[in-house]
Structure 1
């Protein structure tokens, strides 16, 4: 059995078990607690995987980039831990809270790692690819702004902080996705292309989850349910980034 097959099976089983803990128990605070614990474990997987990749390199720019990526993911993990504390243990509305401080701080860190990774590759992307990706991201941003950004901006029940935080995540996700797709294009012809594609698709699921959550908060749906399918979007995102990091390490081992 190939190395990656084991990790694919692990990720599938993790998702199935996690979904069961969401769906099978009767509604109640324990379901929320289970959901938040699973989210913390899922968020820990990419951190562990990127540290696993980081440990492969002895020195150089790649080690710095991977460390930066790991730190950013660790900040997101701290955000999940804080969310678990507020929502799962204290049973209070966790948005916005200290959890958002760590999540927001993690975005520029991860973006910095992606930009550094992009700049280390001395390959010129085809203009058509760059224009195409740019157009998709721009159109996506406009759609999000019109359908969700403006309604949230004029929603009187939200504080200024809630409005800013609600829209920060989807916008920041677009920057991450744009850079990750550019990196995927750089590596696509080689062994690392698939690894970066997994990471990019994981970021897409992060963006879907963040957009969905912003909509649910705007409609005041999320705070009154024990769990919501939006949680699965983030879990899938974590699992894909985890698999991408593992694939990255295995691909490098095969190159030497």
Structure 2
């Protein structure tokens, strides 16, 4: 009985919020080193330069585990009655993270196992669900707090939104247009969604500035920025010679890690607040 209790206690103490944050940061650093050290293209038997298949598999693993971990941590917040923010916010973001995890699995399977690069695949169903869910969660987070930005702060939101829109539009025009209507609709959905998340992230960053509880939302905002960078690079790099594993794609891993860290910081701040309230009641 005592041995079972000790093992359970050690297991719980190992996965403290602080340790989870350190593990997440370590995962991001390992991913960056992996991309930097092994991402170079090497000439193949036919003389065409390409990245090793084991490297591409590794990038998929780094990305998948980042989003799987973020989804689990967000759903932990959803299940916690002590969480400061609305639990629906974390449910939406958690569903989005798990959807991105599944989308990445299908995308990797299509690219690595089937050796195909279709314009639309079943993975896109989960990616679309990701944007809808994460967007809904971020909108709920912003609207749940009274937005009282200064004029110069609204100008920053406007400037970043305008820049992000122009960049996304320019990259989309560079790639040309597909003849398939479904492909066009999905591609523009991604572009618009990226810009919307960028605007929400900027608003969130300015609205939640300051305070311990706000730390979590700064991480969520940074995660949305990272997602935008990776998505824009992916869209820009797409073409007949595109191969997965470019260095800027590490921002997909960063995005998943930052969403997870944001969930952990929110959980930790909620527990601290609950302890303080109980201490006051006892006094």
| TM-score calculated relative to the size of structure 2 | 0.76
Relative distance call for 1:15 and 1:65 in structure 2 (3 A) is closer
Q: Does residue 65 of structure 2 align to residue 41 of structure 1?
A: yes
Question: Out of 67, 77, 85, which is 2:91 matched to?
Answer: 67
Residue 100 (structure 1) aligns with: 124
> Aligned to 1:227, what secondary structure does the other structure show?
coil
Residue 241 (structure 2) aligns with: 221
Relative distance call for 1:138 and 1:87 in structure 2 (3 A) is same
Which runs of 5 or more residues in structure 2 are unaligned? 1-15, 43-50, 275-283
Q: Does residue 255 of structure 2 align to residue 246 of structure 1?
A: no
Query: Contact 1:43–1:80 at 8 Å: present in 2 too?
Result: no
Pairwise CA distance, 1:214: 0.5
Q: Distance in 1 between matches of 2:82 and 2:214?
A: 23
Q: Distance in 1 between matches of 2:83 and 2:56?
A: 42
Relative distance call for 1:58 and 1:16 in structure 2 (3 A) is closer
Residue 151 (structure 1) aligns with: 174
Bigger-Rg structure (1/2) = 2
Q: Distance in 1 between matches of 2:215 and 2:85?
A: 21
Q: Does residue 34 of structure 2 align to residue 14 of structure 1?
A: no
Which runs of 5 or more residues in structure 1 are unaligned? none
Residue 273 (structure 2) aligns with: 255
Relative distance call for 1:60 and 1:28 in structure 2 (3 A) is closer
Deviations 1:182-214 (A, max 9, x none): 233332232222211111111111111111001
> Aligned to 2:86, what secondary structure does the other structure show?
helix
Relative distance call for 1:161 and 1:190 in structure 2 (3 A) is same
Residue 182 (structure 1) aligns with: 203
Deviations 1:234-255 (A, max 9, x none): 0111111111111111122222
Residue 199 (structure 1) aligns with: 220
> Aligned to 1:93, what secondary structure does the other structure show?
coil
Deviations 1:29-60 (A, max 9, x none): 22222222222111112101211222222699
Q: Distance in 2 between matches of 1:94 and 1:41?
A: 24
May I ask how many residue pairs the two structures share in their alignment? 248
Query: Contact 2:84–2:270 at 8 Å: present in 1 too?
Result: no
| TM-score calculated relative to the size of structure 1 | 0.84
Q: Distance in 2 between matches of 1:196 and 1:59?
A: 14
Deviates further, 184-193 or 207-216: 184-193
Residue 165 (structure 1) aligns with: 186
Q: Distance in 2 between matches of 1:112 and 1:164?
A: 20
Q: Distance in 1 between matches of 2:237 and 2:146?
A: 43
